[in-house]
Amino acid sequence: MARWEPGATERLVVAAVDLFTEQGYDATTVAQIAERAGVTRSTFFRHFSDKRELLVAGQETLSRLLADGIADAPPEAGPLEAVAVGLERAAGAMGPANRDLGPRIKAAVAAHTELQERDALKSVGMATAMTAALVDRGVPDAAAHLAAELGVLAFKRGYAAWSAEGRDGGDDLAPHALAALAELRAASAALH
């Protein structure tokens, strides 16, 4: 078993998702995940604190990309325009492997309450990062929170659509996330 092979994080996530699907979350051990991924237990713990963390791998990176995109939006961009730039930045980091894992991760999360709670925290982290980036741009707090929540919802809806289309949906998540944001923006205007 190789100790320092590249791609260990990705292999661990795939192994965990496969095992959670095959035998359930509770029945899957860290040792089994490490073995399936071809790494040692100590390598597992260098990447993740526990098996719950596997399904939110990349959360910090995703939140940072969303916030960085918002920060880099043109100064004249409104809150939702800035969120769109953040969505494009985050979507650019997602590839076919992310799309292929999406439905499998969703099924694993849906089958276990603890994972649902962890997934909810991921959404909170994304919204918090976007809200802070919007406030830093001078957007009032309430508007920043609302725009960030719409951004999280747009990301989730866009990701779900992109994942559902499989390889036929193209390699780019951004059009799906931006379409979802436009749909949500229109829906919110209809709430008057």
Q: And the tokens for 113? A: 């309450």
pLDDT at 4: 43
**Within this chain, domains 8-54 and 58-189 share the same CATH topology:** no
Give pLDDT tens digits for 90-115.
Answer: 998 888 777 877 778 788 888 888 77
Q: HSE (CB half, 13 Å, CA atoms) of 179?
A: 11
Question: Tokens 């996330």 — which residue?
Answer: 177
Contact between residue 184 and residue 150 where contact means Cβ atoms under 8 Å apart: yes
Residue by residue, DSSP assigns 90-134 as HHHT--HHHHHHHHHHHHHHHT-HHHHHHHHHHHHHHHHHHHHHH
Give pLDDT tens digits for 127-138.
Answer: 999 999 999 999
Contact between residue 87 and residue 151 where contact means Cβ atoms under 8 Å apart: yes
Could you count the other beta carbons within 10 Å of the beta carbon of residue 165? Answer: 12
pTM, full prediction: 0.81
Mean pLDDT of 15-24: 87
Question: Tokens 């965990």 — which residue?
Answer: 16
Query: Is pLDDT above 60 for 85?
Result: yes
pLDDT at 166: 67
pLDDT at 101: 79
Determine the CATH number of domain 58-189. Answer: 1.10.357.10
In this structure, which topology does domain 8-54 adopt according to CATH? Arc Repressor Mutant, subunit A (1.10.10)
Domain-wise residue ranges, the chain: 8-54, 58-189
